[in-house]
Amino acid sequence: MAEKIKLYDDSKCTGCRGCQLACKQWNGLKAGQTKQWGSYQNPPTLQPNNYMIIHFQDVKDDKGGVKWLFRKEACMHCTDAACVTVCPSGALHYNRDFGTVGLNHELCIGCKNCVAACPFEVPKYDKATDRVYKCDMCESRLANNMAPACVKACPTGALSWGDKEAQIKKAEARAKAVGGTVYGPQYVGGTHMAYVLSEKPAVYAGIHLDPSVPLSVTLWRGFLKPVSLLAAGGILVGSFLHYLIKGPKLPYDDAEAGKKEGGE
Ligand code: SF4
Ligand code: SF4
């Protein structure tokens, strides 16, 4: 199957948060206690039980008045995902059909490596379950040929799901039409989430303007991992050669060694 991308176009978003609710419903995420903190945006940040949020921001419009600016935040589904690189348990994985990044909670051991590695600060750790949570692009829906729940719920067409190339072309054309920018696929080796931002990226509060993979992850990918694999391969080859030359190790080998050590 072809790689696919989810596209969010803020110029079509009305901030209804239907997507946010659909995400909670489809993933069976518990409601949390929210409070008035001076914004319609709630909760203020991604949480273990909120895989996506819509940011609400007041900005000046062309006439000196005020307008809403909305922005969706969730996993960017990186092509070369730092979280997958550092996950020791295989909980984080690539979806072979679409290139997105899934998360099997059953396999998560709560080490939080992914929390430290993610250039977009997406995975959230839950102390109560000792596991990490994030958007998996509704893998269960994708497997059944359905679009992610947020896309299905969006009433304005601000969210769409489709083939990578076509979606990127669509995003570029829309960004040109609204005088905006495409954000996402140009970072960290590519993403499976793209945005049409109607304002310059710097206008959006909390957006990652220069997301980068930590040096430790880059070193692990480029040097330490290949070296450790080479070392593991060397041990295997050495053991095999030893077996060919010396033959199998027999129980009396140890007994003989014991006699020598004990001087008998
Ligand atoms: S945004 Fe973070 S959590 Fe999502 S795929 Fe990229 S590295 Fe992983
Ligand atoms: S916290 Fe879980 S998902 Fe994250 S790296 Fe560790 S095992 Fe993988």
- The Cα–Cα gap between 210 and 207 comes to 9
Does residue 69 contact residue 204 with C-beta atoms inside 8 Å? yes
Phi, psi of 18, rounded to the nearest 5 degrees? -60, -35
Considering every ligand atom, which ligand is closest to the CA of 103?
2
Report which ligand 2 atom has the smallest distance to the Cα of 90. Answer: 8
132 lines ligand 2 (CB under 6 A): yes
| Ligand 1 binding pocket includes 197 (Cβ within 6 Å) | no
Site to substitute for ligand 2 among 75, 87, 135, most atoms within 8 A of C-beta: 87
pTM of this prediction? 0.83
Per-residue pLDDT of the chain (264 residues), as tens digits, is: 689 999 999 999 999 999 999 999 999 999 988 888 888 899 999 999 999 999 999 999 888 999 999 999 999 999 999 999 999 999 999 999 999 999 999 999 999 999 999 999 999 999 999 999 999 999 999 999 999 999 999 999 999 999 999 999 999 999 999 999 999 999 999 999 999 999 999 999 999 999 998 888 888 776 666 666 566 566 666 667 767 777 766 655 555 555 555 444
